[in-house]
Chain A
Amino acid sequence: MIGQQTTVGRAMRRGLRTDPQVLVVIGALGALLAFLVAVPLILVLWFSFRTAGPGERGGTFTVSNYVDTFLNPLTYELLINTFWFSVGSIVVGLVIGVGFAWLIERTNTPLRNFGFVSIVINSAMPAAMFAIAWVLVLNPRTGLVNLPFTAWLDWDKGPFNPNTMWAMIFVEGLRLAATIFLMVIGLFRSMDPSLEEASSMSQVGTFKTARHVTLPIMTPGILGVVVYIATSTVGVFEIPGVMGMPADIHVLATRIYLATSGVPPDYGFATSLATVAGILGVVGIFIYHRVTRIQQRFATVTGKGYRPRRIELGPTGRGISAALIILFFILTFGLPMFILFWASLIPFYQAPLPKALEFVSLDAYRFIITGPGRHEFLQGLRNSLLLILVVPALTMLLSAVVSWFVVRSRARGKAILDMLAFMPHTVPGIVMGLAWLIIGLFVLSPIYGTIWLIVIAHISLFIAYGTRTTNGAMFQIHRELEEAGAMSGAAWFSTFRSIIMPLLMPSLVAGWLWVAIHSGRELTVALLLQSSSNRIISAYVWQQFFGGRLNLAASAGVLLVLLIILLVILTRVLGQRLSRQQ
């Protein structure tokens, strides 16, 4: 029996190596991924050592870009700002995210489902809009939180100001809390509850168990989450862009953006800064992998999947935790959404007080949908819809094929494929944006300025996520299902199409929707690549906000959030239906 199986396996392996279809596909995939991922990054590196920018003639090798950058005191201010912004927002996010994960997963708190909903719905709001809403809430004169001081105490200004590092840290921290929550709750769930029960059965109480068993076991996992999040905060653009840039508080991402959008653009400065950011990202992911390896060593065979006992809070505790969950919803969705909606209803922004009610109208919506502003807005909508339809489909198709090679085949070079597919994740979004800007100017000039450049850039951005999803799903599909296809005489491509793809479908759908949501709300790359004809809604919102047309920005933003909420609901419904089917 066993002997027979190995022979079949070996035949399969030999078959795979020589199957011409496989060779052609793997070659094409390698070239495609290299183009999507490696070429842009190499170009960034290349231009950081050149005297002439992309699109310019001539130029020689130089290290002066780096010399200039590191002799410039601005750079150090930038790095220090980026450091504090990252550390501060991660601390805020950790406290809220881990605290919430513990409350919702491990205690009998009321409003558990509501807590989940508020975490999920938070992802429907693009970061830039979240920042715009908080700028309005924190505005020294008209901001809601400052109103008690300005309206009642008649001060000139309230104590809160959106254009400060503290405000940026707070707002980014709120955003990170949702991501951290989702990652940490996974850690809680993957921990074998009998590890804690064994402590209880050793006559050890709840808090000692938390300190000596739960926390040490979770530490590598939480550390992994921190490193993972830190990798992304190094290059985060939206919140510092909206809140810090107007007050000249800069981080790496905002400087890179300014350097490329200035006249003339300073590509030397931008590419050398981007290289620094890229290196920070790679180092972060390297540490992340080390940390998760340690965590895997901790992984144990889980028991029968008993739900761990929930800690029983007293009536006061339940009251406090319910209040915290409601407060979280208000801060991450309720208040920002209300303020944006309010801002979309009045022509010139005023605090939401009764005396402003007389100005309320739907004029802004009328203006952008049927009025003179419709060309710009509807063009943005069309472009956004195109992204939402095309980017996820292509990304998930490519991911499925790449995953097959990475997980299934024994072809040489599959490790390189996997590394290439994961690389965009290690690179901050702003660096990818810059890389695609360079490609657009330098290699793909025919499509520069069109929406297709953004489509390609988004695929390269989300391929890392896509392949993580499909890799996981591919591991679940038993190899023999596929071998049975081969033994029935089907060639590789027919097997892939008629066996693998249908079995992968649930994960493909889930990944599709994730990519759709993220592509639809993505701003950084779209902004760097924008021209008059390829603007998408998130870039439109940005442009209107900085152009001082707040009501237009807000109304377009509200519509974008509604569109994404629709996608989120679709994700939930489909996800539940698919998981019920299986």
Chain B
Amino acid sequence: MAVALQVRNLYKRFDTDQGEVRAVEDVTFDVEAGAFFTLLGPSGCGKSTTLRCIAGLERPDDGDITLEDAVLVSSSQGMWTPPHKRPMGMVFQSYAIWPHMNVFDNVAFPLKQGPQKFSGAETRDRVLRALALVHLDGLEKRPAPQLSGGQQQRLALARALVNEPKALLLDEPLSNLDAKLREEMRNELKLLTSSLGITTLFVTHDQLEALTLSDQVAVMDSGRLVQYGPPREIYEAPRNRFAAEFIGSANFFEGAVTDAVEKGGITGVETAHGVLRCTAAEALPKGARVAVAVRPENVILHAGAPPEVHGVNVLSGTVRSVVYLGNTLDCLVDVDGALVKADVHPGEEVSEGDTVALSFKESASRVVPVGTVVAETEQAG
């Protein structure tokens, strides 16, 4: 597929009372035409600032942004396109529905005041089509402030789409909705964007939204893009500790690589609990300090600690706590002083104080670098 949006070496800094904040640091990614691309990260990680740089609402300090052959920002050429000259639609977190207009006028505004001129009939036609798309038909005359949260959200979406933009930008659009409505809108958003085939950039701090909606997810931390790829890859093969911790949860075992390894190869890591076998996300030299990340659902618990459990990655310990969560048992196992989390099938008979064995496959454990990315989520506030 063709690349629709290119972001290259984007930098943005803010001067605040507390000094300079590096909101976006050297962010580079491509979005394919028609793809649903998500920027995921905790608040203050720079994801919204990145989106606003793409929208033109912030002027980046450095970097290039290209949308379908049109250069929007190029620091080397000193080029910057103001937001109203960029063919994009945007849905804001607050929806930004103009309170002095009714539903129809809100959607008609981009057509009436925008660069292209439309006849009255065509404006009407397009507005009604956009409203029908988001199931707001029949509400044209309603004053905008009288809409419910969910309706305002749909209205904002209709307004962003009415001009047939080349890209749709969504800045945490679901965060102001209650849980049930959020799920409903999430499904609708997915259907709508895929049926329109529009290139979509979505910003969220909710990992579930990111995993369920996206073709590609980019994880950001402290202004940096720490990993990007399909949701499954992000979840199953986190490239660093932050990505592993922010999406889902993980156990970490620190240690040193026993043998040099190629990207995707299997190596051993000498940890406090012996040598663990695991998959390397990138090539590593012998002796490199790393951590082994294992998702709790990939930890197999052998109740009763049968001594005959052999093979790789076997640990033994004492069960410290068992929490019943309905579909799973959340167990904490003390392995030589380290607490290891394991999600166990609720049918398993396990209780506090049991001595058990734990194991996990080498394909289910990942080597991530240690100490590079510390979760300094507060810093970029």
Contact = CB atoms under 8 A, between A and B. Distances in A.
Contact of A194 (B86, B96, B110): B96
B148 to A, nearest CB: 13
Contact of B94 (A199, A203, A217, A301): A301
B229 interface: no
Contacts of A355: none
Given A298-B145, A304-B48, A202 B96 contact: no
Interface stretch (A204-212, A258-266, A434-442): A204-212
Contacts of B99: 217, 297-300
B84 A203 contact: yes
A195 interface: yes
Interface in A301-346: 301-304, 306, 309
A212 B112 CA distance: 11
A255 B87 CA distance: 64
Interface in A188-219: 192, 194-195, 197-206, 208-209, 212-213, 216-217
B184 to A, nearest CB: 20
B57 A309 contact: yes
- Most chain B beta carbons < 10 A, residue from A202, A208, A216, A298: A202
B89 interface: yes
A192 B84 contact: no
B159 A202 contact: yes
Given A202-B113, A216-B100, A304-B48, A197 B83 contact: yes
A201 B90 contact: yes
Nearest to B115: A203
Nearest to A201: B90
A225 to B, nearest CB: 17
Given A197-B57, A202-B110, A300 B94 contact: yes
Interface residues of B, number: 36
B110 A212 contact: no
B100 A201 contact: no
Nearest to A309: B57
B159 A198 contact: yes
Interface residues on A, range: 20 to 34
Given A303-B93, A304-B48, A198 B83 contact: no
B93 A304 contact: yes
A217 B100 contact: yes
Contacts of A300: 94-97, 99, 145
B9 interface: no
Contact of A212 (B58, B96, B109): B109
A198 B160 CA distance: 9
- Most chain A beta carbons < 10 A, residue from B52, B85, B113: B113
A203 B87 contact: yes
A213 B98 contact: yes
Given A197-B83, A300-B99, A304-B48, A204 B94 contact: no
A192 B94 contact: yes
- Most chain B beta carbons < 10 A, residue from A201, A208, A298: A201
Contact of B109 (A204, A206, A299): A204
A200 B57 contact: yes
Contacts of A216: 100
Given A197-B83, A203-B163, A208 B113 contact: yes
Nearest to B49: A306
Interface in B112-135: 113-115
A194 B84 contact: no
Contacts of A197: 55, 57, 83, 90, 92, 96
A192 B113 contact: no
Contacts of A202: 84, 89, 109-110, 113-114, 159, 163
Contacts of A209: 84
A195 B145 CA distance: 13
Nearest to B114: A203
A237 to B, nearest CB: 38
- Most chain A beta carbons < 10 A, residue from B82, B83, B90, B96: B96
B114 A303 contact: no
Given A212-B113, A217-B100, A298-B145, A201 B94 contact: no
B296 interface: no
Interface string B49-81: 000100111100000000000000000000000
Contact of B56 (A200, A299, A302): A200
A201 B145 CA distance: 20
Contacts of B90: 197-198, 201
B177 to A, nearest CB: 12
Contacts of A298: 99-100, 145
Contacts of B56: 200
Given A300-B145, A303-B94, A303-B96, A201 B87 contact: no
A301 B153 CA distance: 13
B54 to A, nearest CB: 11
Contacts of A201: 55, 57, 83-84, 86, 88-90, 160, 169
A204 to B, nearest CB: 4
B176 interface: yes
Contacts of A200: 56-57, 82-84
Nearest to A219: B100
Contacts of A212: 109, 113
B16 to A, nearest CB: 10
Nearest to B100: A216
A217 to B, nearest CB: 6
Contacts of A297: 99, 145
Contacts of A309: 57-58
Contacts of B95: 300
A192 B98 contact: no
Nearest to A308: B57
Interface of B: 48, 52, 55-58, 82-90, 92-100, 109-110, 113-115, 145, 156, 159-160, 163, 169, 176
Given A201-B160, A309-B58, 12 more contacts: A192-B94, A197-B55, A198-B98, A201-B55, A201-B83, A203-B163, A212-B109, A212-B113, A216-B100, A297-B145, A303-B96, A306-B57
3 closest A-B pairs by beta carbon, nearest first, are: A202-B110, A194-B96, A200-B83
16 contacts: A192-B96, A194-B94, A195-B96, A198-B156, A200-B83, A202-B114, A203-B115, A204-B84, A204-B109, A205-B84, A212-B109, A217-B98, A298-B145, A301-B176, A304-B93, A306-B57
Interface of A: 192, 194-195, 197-206, 208-209, 212-213, 216-217, 297-304, 306, 309
